[in-house]
Amino acid sequence: MLKLARIAAALVLTALAAGTAHAETKLRFYSWQTDDQSNSVWWRAVNKAYQDEHPGIVIDFVKVPRDSFADTMMVMFGGNTPPDIVHLASFEFPAFAQEGFLENLAPYIAKDGIDLKGWAGQEKCVVKGQAYCINLNYFGYLMFYNAALLKAAGAEVPRDWAGYLDAARKVTAAGAGRSFGVGLHTSAGAGQYLTELLAVVLDAGGRWSNDAGQPTIDTPAVIEGLRRWKQLQTERLTPLGLKAEDVRQLFVEGRIGIRLDGPWMRGLLDRAKPEILPSLQVAETPTETPLGGASNVIGMPASLSPERKRLVWDYIKLITSRHWQEQYVVLSGQLAPRPNSLTPDVLAAKPFLATFQAAQNKAAAKGIDRLPAGFETTYNEFAKFVTEEAQRMVIENSDPAIVARRMQTRAAALQKG
């Protein structure tokens, strides 16, 4: 499976290189956020500002699908053709840093006097005391729900797992195949699949590993989380075989009752038809422990020429400036990592951000992050086999306890190398 993914990534790389190799003045920037109607709005605005300040330099902002992103980037770095601007999910970053692919940003930060004190999630970018990236987002999961669907089905807005399950069943029954109680990412795509599975596991009190980095998958709490995950699918309370972006679109169309997701989901609601939009609401999750953590980071390759490093560092300085961090909140509708980026005026105009802040604070207080201790540099491999086993559990109707033991065995083997 990994070999096929690498081949697919190489094909994507070839296509990307063919479209950019002729332009010496382009800074290659590959991302999965080019068209998500939330982060992309900010990215395009900041890219234009950079280009205005640097005549003759063009940001080549190209999409690479989320599911193949890490493999594509690894192929690019392995072939010594990395992008100029490195955008990675925070849980992917350690593997690239370990390989020595990324430039140490600490000297640049010190030279320009950039203050990262209190910068949310920045500790995830630090390796052996040096910063190899800058964190761009720290989040807490939220509950997006369709108040009209819940009301029509006679369901209450859930406050715990029992309420969540009850609402899911009632909305699904009322929908008669047209609408579903909840929306989960259940297709291939290890990173997103594991993120949504973890949200359920956390609510059951489980974690993939303990603080010492030892796997804790074959524990009653994780087994209960796996049972819940299986139940939501075997009862057909979610549409099956869909990716997160597909489920998000169904939510916007008014066909999903509840969707647990990050704050980036808020920007998508504007796609909804006027008659549906008032029903699409957001609240803190009904889970006991909300999923949260660092989301994505920015950096640059160590192999760039000094001139390109200067250009890329100018870009990083721009997007981390106070102005553009405040604009991140305004344009994306999410919280920025820079302290005090949520201004009183913006909060007054976007009161839902108070809910976002509460969710983020709650996740941070409990030390939650998608990246399990002990698997920092092997997360992709970890995510793939957990996803594989969880999907088999549903398809083959396997006992979650047996599945948890298999996951535990594979996790231990991965750590041993």
> Are residues 306 and 328 located together in one domain of the fold?
yes
188, burial (CB in 10 Å: exposed 0-12, middle 13-18, buried 19+): middle
Residue 2 confidence (pLDDT) = 41
Phi, psi of 115 (to 5 degrees): -90, 110
Q: Are 189 and 207 in contact (CB under 8 A)?
A: no
Q: Which amino acid is at 183?
A: G
SS3 content of the chain, % helix, strand, coil (to 5): 50, 15, 35
> Are residues 147 and 283 located together in one domain of the fold?
yes
**Rounded distance, CA 70 to CA 191, Å?**
10
Last residue of a domain, one of 344, 365, 386: 365
Q: Which long-range contacts (CB under 8 A, 24 or more apart) does 245-254 make?
A: 245/36, 247/183, 247/184, 247/185, 248/183, 250/180, 250/183, 251/144, 251/146, 251/183, 251/280, 252/276, 252/280, 254/146, 254/148, 254/149, 254/179, 254/279, 254/280
CA 266, 269, 274, 278 torsion: positive or negative?
negative
Number of domains forming the structure of the chain: 2
Tell me which residue range forms the domain holding 258.
141-292+373-416
- Coil, helix or strand at residue 58: strand
Residue 411 confidence (pLDDT) = 98
> Are residues 17 and 91 located together in one domain of the fold?
yes
Phi, psi of 337 (to 5 degrees): -75, -25
> Are residues 114 and 160 located together in one domain of the fold?
no
Q: Which residue blocks in 126-219 are alpha helix, DSSP H?
A: 147-152, 161-175, 190-203
> Are residues 126 and 186 located together in one domain of the fold?
no
Give per-residue burial for 317-334: e unless 16+ CB within 10 Å, then b.
bbbbeeebbbbbbbbbbb
- Within its chain, how far is the Cα of 362 from the centroid? 18
Q: Which amino acid is at 349?
A: A
> Are residues 274 and 393 located together in one domain of the fold?
yes
**Rounded distance, CA 139 to CA 362, Å?**
10
> Are residues 394 and 342 located together in one domain of the fold?
no
Last residue of a domain, one of 329, 346, 365: 365
Q: Which amino acid is at 185?
A: H
Angle, nearest 10°, between helix axes 39-53 and 322-332?
140
> Are residues 250 and 380 located together in one domain of the fold?
yes
> Are residues 180 and 201 located together in one domain of the fold?
yes
**Rounded distance, CA 153 to CA 167, Å?**
8
**Rounded distance, CA 7 to CA 212, Å?**
35
Neighbours of 408 (CB within 10 A): 17
CATH number at residue 346: 3.40.190.10
Residue 24 confidence (pLDDT) = 59
> Are residues 286 and 219 located together in one domain of the fold?
yes
**Rounded distance, CA 311 to CA 15, Å?**
25
> Are residues 309 and 274 located together in one domain of the fold?
no
Closest CA to 58 of 19, 104, 108: 19
Per residue of the chain (417 residues), what is the pLDDT tens digit? 444 444 444 444 444 444 444 445 899 999 999 998 789 999 999 999 999 999 999 999 999 998 889 999 999 999 999 999 999 999 899 999 999 999 999 999 999 999 999 999 999 999 999 999 999 999 999 999 999 999 999 999 999 999 999 999 999 999 999 999 999 999 977 688 999 999 999 999 999 999 999 999 999 999 999 999 999 999 999 999 999 999 999 999 999 999 999 999 988 898 899 999 999 999 999 988 889 889 999 999 999 999 999 999 999 999 999 999 999 999 999 999 999 999 999 999 999 999 999 998 888 888 888 889 999 989 989 999 999 999 999 999 999 999 999 999 999 999 998
Phi, psi of 327 (to 5 degrees): -65, -30
**Rounded distance, CA 333 to CA 80, Å?**
36
**Rounded distance, CA 160 to CA 154, Å?**
17
Residue 25 confidence (pLDDT) = 83
> Are residues 319 and 269 located together in one domain of the fold?
no
